[in-house]
């Protein structure tokens, strides 16, 4: 998944000559929090709703007036992303610098913007339900061939895997979550247990008394 | 006298010997009712026509069902949910599926033309079928076609789905429809097929606030189920004021069901059916169409649906099951069937997280009511 797959392509921008009042109104009406500042087709900075609130706060040592210029308040050193960067690179940059957006540049021109919300959408896409499916969760030994054995057994039952998510766990295990196109997830889980897999979900049901 | 719709032709909706959605479930039920001396009068429907199917389903999908039904190969069948583990293809499946749709349509006709107030369609309840895709044992949406017929005649319809799986197909068909209230009680899609049915799925456009989902925790027991049911359903029906209630009466929330994880007993089902019949009288002018649905434990399903049929007719519930029925079906299925209609009081070991489960279910219901209240009032 690349930045270009999750970014917003039609970017709302503002000029450095605009007033803080105008920037505020653009954000309010567009329900957005980040405005790239563009001057003569070139990215000059970024101004966020937080910048506006801090700059104009009565608590600030010298609060800016609503008529002050965006260019006086914006961040000039802007971290950017490339449309072909993987989303995890964008996520790491934003996390490390604790920032909410990255303007995306293509040959020096603004081509899009990726925000924390876009990354949440990416997470939902990775973990979400895209087709009617049941969920299986397993603990696989962290060694070659385990996933192949698992998917082989699933395929033998003519069951399709819609999505597959794995992440490392303690004790040299890999937690693996599959979404499979069958309502018979329980019988599938039983078959996998019989084949020696550690199936975390669905668990065995308490037996009728 | 309430009516029951059934045809021997329903038996053709059969995915094969080892498939859980087995027509033997109807045979067991009808045989049990007969042995109890309470055979309902059965009305034979007609199969739905192709045109009726197309009021909900997309032409390319129907064409594929028809081709496969004739035994012709279809290269992209799996893209339409067909010839999969859940929905294997079989000769004649188009007509078999149309019979089930026809049964539900006949039930609706009886009610809207004033012949009957309460009807049970002894089959169908294919709530996973989507406009362009088979899913979860469901080829054509008997519920979708029937509800669409009702709304096109001007009726406001409340659809109540107590199958353990989310009624995703029906919800999808009517997601933006202001004439259809859908309420689905199911085990949370976080764990169970089809994965949808979260509280935040509230409908779109004019249908916003009219699609209600109660995703229950795995291992939810009867008391907690009924508590959330009481918290939501009468309020929603009183507010929506439906002219007819359509109920998908799946029996797979029973604790013995092999495909899911809720812990309802036959006693819960009795309480649930009594409530639904009462709500039909209070909030839907007495008009209710039941269909069957999921339910895969041969020990539980005939008892659960016998309770439904008996209560619907106002017939008494027996304590014991007829021994001849128990013996016959025990031998036929190589199973030990229970002697009593109801599950014993303590049917399973106490659920360790019961308190936590009830608390979470209450919270889910609260969140749903919070989310819908701004659309309702």
Nearest CA in chain A to B347: A209
Q: What is the pLDDT of residue A207?
A: 55
Contact A208 B255 (CB under 8 A): yes
Report how far residue A120's alpha carbon sits from residue B212's, in angstroms, rounded to the nearest whole number.
Answer: 25
Tens-place pLDDT, residues B51-63: 999 999 999 999 9
CA distances from B30 to A85, B26, B329 (A): 63, 6, 12
- Interface membership of B122 toward A (CB under 8 Å): no
Tens-place pLDDT, residues A142-168: 999 999 999 999 999 999 999 999 999
Report how far residue A206's alpha carbon sits from residue B8's, in angstroms, rounded to the nearest whole number.
Answer: 37
Contact B78 A202 (CB under 8 A): no
- The dihedral built from the CA positions of residue B259, A157, B9 and B64, taken in this order, carries a sign that is positive
Is beta strand A198-201 parallel, antiparallel or unpaired with respect to A134-141?
A: antiparallel
Nearest CA in chain A to B136: A183
- The minimum CA-CA distance between A128 and chain B, rounded to whole Å, is 9
Contact B193 A201 (CB under 8 A): no
Integer-rounded Cα radius of gyration of chain B: 19
- The minimum CA-CA distance between A198 and chain B, rounded to whole Å, is 17
Q: What is the pLDDT of residue B18?
A: 86
Element (H, E) at A175: strand A173-180
B125-149 average pLDDT score: 98
Mutate one of A125, A183, A203, A205 to test the B interface: name it (highest B CB count within 10 A).
Answer: A183
Mutate one of B88, B128, B191 to test the A interface: name it (highest A CB count within 10 A).
Answer: B191
DSSP A149: H
- The minimum CA-CA distance between A189 and chain B, rounded to whole Å, is 10
Of B86, B135, B347, the CB nearest to A208: B347
User: What is the separation of C-alpha B353 from the centre of its chain, rounded to a whole number of angstroms?
Assistant: 28
The residues facing A36 across adjacent strands are A46
Residues on chain A bordering chain B, Cβ-to-Cβ distance under 8 angstroms: 129, 132-135, 157-160, 179, 181-187, 201-202, 205-209
Contact A187 B346 (CB under 8 A): no
Q: What is the pLDDT of residue B75?
A: 96
Identify the CA nearest to B132 among candidates B95, B173, B84: B173
Contact A184 B85 (CB under 8 A): yes
Contact A135 B194 (CB under 8 A): no
- The minimum CA-CA distance between B76 and chain A, rounded to whole Å, is 14
Contact B259 A207 (CB under 8 A): no
Contact A185 B259 (CB under 8 A): yes
Residues of A in contact with B168 (CB under 8 A): 132
Tens-place pLDDT, residues A11-50: 999 999 999 999 999 999 999 999 999 999 899 999 999 9
| pLDDT confidence bin for A88, thresholds 50/70/90 | very high
Q: Average per-residue pLDDT in chain B?
A: 96
Q: What is the pLDDT of residue A206?
A: 63
Is beta strand B244-248 parallel, antiparallel or unpaired with respect to B157-161?
A: parallel
Report how far residue A164's alpha carbon sits from residue B58's, in angstroms, rounded to the nearest whole number.
Answer: 30
Contact A135 B192 (CB under 8 A): yes
User: Which residues neighbour B166 within 8 Å (Cβ) at sequence distance 6 or greater?
Assistant: B184, B186, B189, B192, B194, B195, B196, B197, B213, B215
Task: Please say whether the beta carbons of B291 and B142 come within 8 A.
Answer: yes
A48-56 average pLDDT score: 96
Residues of B in contact with A181 (CB under 8 A): 81, 84-86
User: Which residues neighbour B102 within 8 Å (Cβ) at sequence distance 6 or greater?
Assistant: B45, B46, B47, B48, B52
How many residues make up chain A in this entry?
209
Contact A205 B261 (CB under 8 A): yes
| pLDDT confidence bin for A209, thresholds 50/70/90 | very low
- The minimum CA-CA distance between A185 and chain B, rounded to whole Å, is 7
Element (H, E) at A47: strand A42-48
Nearest CA in chain A to B85: A158
Residues of A in contact with B196 (CB under 8 A): 129, 132
- Interface membership of B192 toward A (CB under 8 Å): yes
- Percentage of chain B exceeding pLDDT 70: 100
Nearest CA in chain B to A200: B191
Residue of B26, B127, B128, B313 with catalytic role: B128
Task: Please say whether the beta carbons of B103 and B7 come within 8 A.
Answer: yes
Tens-place pLDDT, residues B254-286: 999 999 999 999 999 999 999 999 999 999 999
Judged by phi (left if over 0) then psi (alpha if -120 to 50, else beta), residue B317 lies in: beta
Please confirm, yes or no, whether B200 is among the known catalytic residues.
Answer: no
A96, pLDDT greater than 90: yes
Residue A140 half-sphere exposure toward CB, CA atoms < 13 A: 22
- Interface membership of B66 toward A (CB under 8 Å): no
Contact B84 A158 (CB under 8 A): yes
User: Which residues neighbour A15 within 8 Å (Cβ) at sequence distance 6 or greater?
Assistant: A37, A38, A39, A70
- The minimum CA-CA distance between B290 and chain A, rounded to whole Å, is 23
Torsion angle of the four alpha carbons B278, B281, B284, B290, in this order, in degrees rounded to the nearest 10: 60
B90, pLDDT greater than 90: yes
Mutate one of B193, B196, B353 to test the A interface: name it (highest A CB count within 10 A).
Answer: B193
Annotate chain B with three-state secondary structure: CCEEECCHHHHHCCCCCCCCCCCHHHHHHHHHHHHCCCCCCEECCCCCCHHHHCCCCCHHHHHHHHHHHCCCCCCCHHHHCCCCCCCCCCCCHHHHHHHHHHHHHHHHHHHHCCCCCEEEECCCCCCCCECCECECCECCCHHHHHHHHHHHCCCCEEEEECCCCCCHHHHHHCCCCCCEEEEEEEECCCCCCCCCCCCCCCCCHHHCCCEEEEEECCCCEHHHHHHHHHHHHHHHHHHHCCCEEEEECCCCCECCCCCCCCEECHHHHHHHHHHHHHHHHHHCCCCEEEECCCCCCCCCHHHHHHHHHHHHHCCCCCCECCHHHHHHHHHHHCCCCCCECCCCCCCECCCCCHHHHHHHHHHHHHHHHHHHHHHHC
Of A181, A184, A201, the CB nearest to B191: A201
- Interface membership of B351 toward A (CB under 8 Å): yes
Identify the CA nearest to A208 among candidates B12, B23, B263: B263
Contact A129 B189 (CB under 8 A): yes
Nearest CA in chain B to A177: B191
B171, pLDDT greater than 90: yes
- Interface membership of B86 toward A (CB under 8 Å): yes
Report how far residue B59's alpha carbon sits from residue B324's, in angstroms, rounded to the nearest whole number.
Answer: 48
CB pairs under 8 A between A and B: 82
Please, which contacts does A191-196 make with residues 24 or more away whose CB atoms are closer than 8 Å? A191/A153, A191/A157, A192/A136, A192/A138, A192/A150, A192/A153, A195/A149, A195/A153
Identify the CA nearest to B268 among candidates B258, B284, B253: B253
């Amino acid at each position: 998944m690349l930045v270009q797959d999750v970014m917003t392509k039609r970017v709302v921008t503002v000029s450095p000559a605009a007033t803080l009042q105008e920037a505020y109104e653009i954000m309010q009406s567009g329900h957005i929090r980040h405005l790239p500042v563009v001057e003569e087709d070139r990215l000059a900075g970024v101004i966020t709703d937080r910048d506006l609130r801090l700059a104009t706060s009565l608590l600030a040592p010298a609060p800016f007036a609503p008529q002050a210029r965006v260019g006086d308040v914006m961040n000039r050193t802007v971290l950017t992303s490339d449309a072909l960067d993987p989303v995890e690179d964008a996520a790491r940059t934003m996390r490390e610098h604790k920032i909410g957006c990255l303007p995306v540049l293509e040959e020096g021109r603004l081509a899009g913007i990726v925000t924390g919300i876009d990354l949440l959408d990416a997470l939902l896409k990775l973990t979400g339900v895209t087709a009617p499916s049941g969920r299986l969760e397993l603990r696989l030994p962290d060694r070659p061939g385990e996933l192949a054995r698992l998917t082989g057994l699933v395929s033998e039952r003519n069951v399709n895997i819609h999505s597959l998510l794995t992440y490392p766990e303690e004790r040299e295990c890999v937690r693996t979550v599959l979404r499979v196109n069958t309502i018979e997830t329980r019988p599938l889980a039983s078959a996998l247990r019989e084949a020696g897999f550690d199936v975390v979900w669905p668990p065995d049901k308490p037996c009728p008394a | 006298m309430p009516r029951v719709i059934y045809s021997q032709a329903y038996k053709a909706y059969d995915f094969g010997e080892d498939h859980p959605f087995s027509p033997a479930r109807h045979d067991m039920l009808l045989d049990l009712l007969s042995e109890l001396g309470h055979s309902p009068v059965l009305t034979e429907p007609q199969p739905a026509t192709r045109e009726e199917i197309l009021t909900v389903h997309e032409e390319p999908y129907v064409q594929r069902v028809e081709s496969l039904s004739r035994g012709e190969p279809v290269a992209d069948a799996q893209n339409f949910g067909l010839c999969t583990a859940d929905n294997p293809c079989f000769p004649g499946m188009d007509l078999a599926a149309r019979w089930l749709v026809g049964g539900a349509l006949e039930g609706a006709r009886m009610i809207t033309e004033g012949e009957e107030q309460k009807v049970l369609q002894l089959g169908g309840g294919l709530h996973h079928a989507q406009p362009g895709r088979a899913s979860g044992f469901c080829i054509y949406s008997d519920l979708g076609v029937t509800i669409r017929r009702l709304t096109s005649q001007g009726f406001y319809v409340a659809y109540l789905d107590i199958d353990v799986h989310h009624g995703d197909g029906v919800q999808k068909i009517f997601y933006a429809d202001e004439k259809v209230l859908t309420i689905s009680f199911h085990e949370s899609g976080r764990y169970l097929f089809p994965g949808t049915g979260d509280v935040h799925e509230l409908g779109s456009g004019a249908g916003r606030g009219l699609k209600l989902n109660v995703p229950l925790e795995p291992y939810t027991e009867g008391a907690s189920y009924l508590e959330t049911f009481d918290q939501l359903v009468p309020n929603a029906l009183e507010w929506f004021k439906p002219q007819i209630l359509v109920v998908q009466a799946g029996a797979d929330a029973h604790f013995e069901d092999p495909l899911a994880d809720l812990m309802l007993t036959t006693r819960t089902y009795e309480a649930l059916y009594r409530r639904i019949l009462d709500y039909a009288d209070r909030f839907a002018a007495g008009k209710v169409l039941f269909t069957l649905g999921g339910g895969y434990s041969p020990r539980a399903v005939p008892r659960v649906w016998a309770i439904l049929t008996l209560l619907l007719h106002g017939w008494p519930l027996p304590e014991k099951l007829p021994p001849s029925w128990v013996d016959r079906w025990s031998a036929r299925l190589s199973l030990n069937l229970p002697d009593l209609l109801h599950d014993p009081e303590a049917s399973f070991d106490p659920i360790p997280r019961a308190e936590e489960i009830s608390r979470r279910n209450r919270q889910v219901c609260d969140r749903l009511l919070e989310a819908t209240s701004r659309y309702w009032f």
